[in-house]
């Protein structure tokens, strides 16, 4: 996704970089089905994490776009292979990443637990922001992982074991993802209120820590760049939606 956005808004990708990306894509086509530790790098064993599959889909989907828009060569199997693997991932996530009894996408195939990384699904355009499956998932995340406007990555007693002891704070990054998801779903007043509440957790310089503790204290990496990138994205999209 970063390469696609850079090619679109920054500078056109050069041939050498495209060659390197093609090698990564060939590896991805052969390995996307392999279990991994997920976006949070859990230490409790590998799983078929839904957010990992979604980002594999993103890589192939964006590669197809770049190749077609720029006329860049696609290598062995061509764009047809990328399209084929992309579509396999999509169908698999919709089948195995969806828990029909719960009415929600879940952390990994066969799970019941949620994961805040699912908030990436509409943000990377894997699902439409008002798709009924997604809206049901969003509602579950608000009920099960969200306190006020603070979003936990997952419930440590229900999700895949992360190998870490003790509790953790909510993740600021995920809270801003929630704001953007609400905005895209057209729930603008909810999004505005959530963003305004998040502003109250910044320090006197407007900076955020990686996590926010139960009494509002800053925890983890400080300041964390990824959190501020998600803040900017959430604020820009909400501002545009509000006109």
Which pLDDT score, from 0 to 100, does residue 93 have?
98
Domain ranges of the chain: 1-96, 101-243
Fold of 101-243: Glycosyltransferase (1.50.10)
Show Cβ contacts of residue 226 under 8 Å, excluding neighbours closer than 6 positions.
Answer: 173
User: pTM for this one?
Assistant: 0.91
- pLDDT tens across 15-55, in order? 999 999 999 999 999 999 999 999 988 888 899 999 999 99
Which pLDDT score, from 0 to 100, does residue 84 have?
95
- State the chain's maximal CA–CA distance in angstroms: 55
Q: Which of 199, 175, 182 lies closest to 242 in space, CA to CA?
A: 182
Which pLDDT score, from 0 to 100, does residue 160 have?
56
- Residue 124 backbone phi and psi in degrees, to 5: -100, 10
* Sign of torsion over alpha carbons 150, 231, 118, 122: positive
The number of angstroms, rounded, from the C-alpha of 204 to the middle of its chain's C-alpha atoms is 29
- pLDDT tens across 174-199, in order? 999 999 999 999 999 999 999 999 99
- pLDDT tens across 85-105, in order? 999 999 999 999 999 999 999
- Identify whether the C-beta of residue 230 lies closer than 8 Å to the C-beta of residue 176: yes
């Amino acid at each position: 996704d970063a390469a696609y956005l850079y090619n679109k808004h920054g500078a056109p990708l050069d041939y050498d970089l495209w060659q390197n990306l093609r090698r990564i894509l060939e590896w991805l086509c052969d390995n996307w089905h392999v279990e991994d530790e997920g976006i949070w790098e859990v230490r409790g064993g590998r799983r078929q994490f839904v957010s990992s599959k979604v980002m594999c889909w993103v890589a192939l989907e964006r590669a197809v776009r770049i190749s077609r828009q720029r006329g860049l060569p696609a290598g062995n199997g061509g764009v047809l292979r990328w399209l084929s693997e992309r579509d396999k991932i999509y169908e698999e996530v919709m089948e195995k990443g969806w828990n029909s009894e719960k009415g929600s996408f879940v952390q990994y195939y066969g799970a019941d637990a949620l994961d805040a990384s699912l908030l990436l699904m509409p943000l990377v355009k894997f699902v439409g922001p008002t798709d009924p499956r997604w809206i049901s998932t969003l509602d579950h995340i608000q009920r099960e992982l969200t306190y006020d406007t603070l979003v936990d990555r997952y419930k440590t007693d229900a999700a895949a074991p992360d190998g870490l002891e003790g509790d953790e704070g909510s993740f600021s990054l995920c809270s801003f993802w929630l704001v953007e998801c609400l905005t895209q779903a057209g729930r603008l007043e909810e999004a505005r209120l959530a963003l305004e509440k998040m502003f109250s957790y910044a320090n006197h310089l407007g900076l955020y820590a990686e996590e926010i503790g139960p009494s509002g204290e800053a925890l983890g990496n400080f300041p964390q760049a990824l959190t501020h990138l998600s803040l900017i994205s959430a604020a820009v999209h909400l501002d545009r939606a509000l006109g």
